[in-house]
């Protein structure tokens, strides 16, 4: 399986600020995904990020709030913009790597005060 790392692992931020989360994978992958896991809940897909094209956002998520970059086949960033306490969540990136399976990073735990 692919080895995926995320930075930062956790952060505490003030409302109105922005945080950029990095996702690095040790193999070249076509598809990367960003999920949100709100406290005590399951995972919700934010967007799909393919290298060389604009990210595709799911219903309820917009580029102005969650801009995504995908500069190469091993790296992506998700920015959470103009944060509010409702953005407090775990943000996970994942990759589709062989055999139609998604593998997940360790997550970024965000608390917005």
Partner 1 sequence: AQSVTQLGSHVSVSEGALVLLRCNYSSSVPPYLFWYVQYPNQGLQLLLKYTSAATLVKGINGFEAEFKKSETSFHLTKPSAHMSDAAEYFCAVSDQTGANNLFFGTGTRLTVIP
What is the contact surface with partner 1 in residues (CB under 8 A)? Answer: 1, 4, 6, 31, 33, 41-43, 45, 48, 92, 94, 96, 99-107, 109
Residue 58 is encoded by which pair of tokens? 């799911």
CB of 107 to partner 1, least distance (A): 5
CB of 33 or CB of 66, closer to partner 1: 33
CB of 45 or CB of 81, closer to partner 1: 45
CB of 40 to partner 1, least distance (A): 9
Backbone angles phi, psi at 74, to 5 degrees: -125, 5
Query: Exposed, middle or buried by CB within 10 Å (0-12, 13-18, 19+), for 73?
Result: middle
CB of 61 to partner 1, least distance (A): 16
CB of 28 or CB of 102, closer to partner 1: 102
Task: Give yes or no for a contact between 107 and 8, defined as CB atoms under 8 angstroms apart.
Answer: no
């Amino acid at each position: 399986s692919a080895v995926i790392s995320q930075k930062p692992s956790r952060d505490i931020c003030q409302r109105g600020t922005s945080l950029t989360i990095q996702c690095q994978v040790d193999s070249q992958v076509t598809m990367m995904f960003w999920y949100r896991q709100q406290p005590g809940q399951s995972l919700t897909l934010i967007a799909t990020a393919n290298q060389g094209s604009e990210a595709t956002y799911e219903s309820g998520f917009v580029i102005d709030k969650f801009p995504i970059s995908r500069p190469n086949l091993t790296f992506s960033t998700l920015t959470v913009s103009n944060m509010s306490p409702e953005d407090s969540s775990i943000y996970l990136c994942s990759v589709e790597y062989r055999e139609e399976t998604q593998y997940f990073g360790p997550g970024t735990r965000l608390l917005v005060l």
